[in-house]
Amino acid sequence: MHDWTVREVIQDDLDGIRGLFNIVWGYNRPWSFDHWRYFNGPYGSCPAVVALNGSTLVGFYTGLPTKIRVGREIITGIQSMDTLTHPSYQRQGVFVTLAEACYKAALGRGFEMIYGFPNPNSYPGFVNRLNFDHSGNIGDWVRPIRPSGYLGLPPVLGKAADFAALVWPKGTSMGFEVRIEKPAPAEIKVLLASWCEDLDACCIERTPEWLHWRYSPEAGHDYEWVMVLRAGKVFAAGVWGMRNSTWHQNADGRAHLVELFGTDPAGLEALLAAIIDRAWLRHAWVIETITNVRSVTAALRRAGFVRHRMAPFIIRALATRVLAGNIHDHASWRIMGGDIDTL
């Protein structure tokens, strides 16, 4: 028998959750970020549970609600997100117990599946004890911008690395007009229509409302829309950002490429060149993303990105009904940066 109990999260738990996060990870995210993400999402608050020993919070698990296109239908699911166990309560089944309690609560609210990108510590628990399917891996792509900003690089080497990054291939925006602004609603609609055209594909459903929430100022990443046009027509648009000063010492100088819309290769090349220039102006030392979309990975290669690792992609069905698409078919999934909560 253990000396802790489980219940669903209430907003008054936030300070305790943040205290446990600091114990586990050694830092905290901005309070406004945590409150925004846990309680103010476009599809409702996060299904979340805590473990308590008396009034002491010793465990936490949550998932981020999202709409997911599965073949010819759109369902509501969750992305597995924060999992925390107090060091003094390890090996007591806190993680597995909280996860199953969270999934039960999520299913009761109509969420039908869960996906995630586990770290090496949590991967065995998800796959071996929580019945997740490791369907395949998604590429993590990086490109140097100003490598001297990396703290582990000696100053002399930093200057040489910056010069190398400056002449690194990035493509060109020549022939396109670059605008640092969000496309008009009608243009967003056209771009979204091309995002997941394959009727048998699985992808995180992007809507104007979701995009507005996901890249809002509350995220603390100073997300920026960039679009490229020719003769007044939008050929491609994207979103990138960096942690801002609200993250204090954890504003790590990494730029995150989170959205890339468009199907025209020249347009995507021009867009990436413009985003790389914007990241250089904001003194990012690297820009990174995660994706398996073929048109995007081809554009990334042309812009000097390299795939430096593969991230495991895991899936579990929560509902028992047969869905319109096969969520376990890894080849059917289209994943882009904004689909992972850490970018």
Beta-strand ranges (E) seen in 217-305 are 224-230, 233-242, 254-261, 286-291
pLDDT score at 169: 84
pLDDT digit string, tens, across residues 196-234 = 777 789 999 999 999 999 999 999 999 999 999 999 999
Residue 270's nearest CA partner among 299, 290, 233, 305 is 299
Q: What is the mean pLDDT of residues 258-284?
A: 95
Residue 36's nearest CA partner among 66, 8, 11 is 11
Residue 61's nearest CA partner among 43, 40, 78 is 78
- Phi and psi of 293, rounded to 5°? -75, 120
Quote the DSSP letter at residue 187: H
Query: By percentage, how much of the chain surpasses pLDDT 90?
Result: 84
- Write down the pTM of the prediction: 0.94
Q: How far is CA 150 from CA 25, 213, 221, 244, in A?
A: 21, 30, 19, 17
Q: Say which amino acid occupies 337.
A: G
Residue 90 pLDDT > 90, yes or no? yes
Burial 109-122 (b: 16+ CB within 10 A, else e): eebbbbbbbbeeeb
pLDDT score at 1: 64
Residue 58 and residue 54: Cα distance in Å, rounded? 10
Residue 137 and residue 20: Cα distance in Å, rounded? 30
- Phi and psi of 193, rounded to 5°? -65, -30
pLDDT score at 270: 96
Quick check: 79 and 286 in contact, CB under 8 A? no
**Mode of pairing for the β-strands spanning 306-317 and 113-116:** antiparallel
Residue 340 and residue 291: Cα distance in Å, rounded? 10
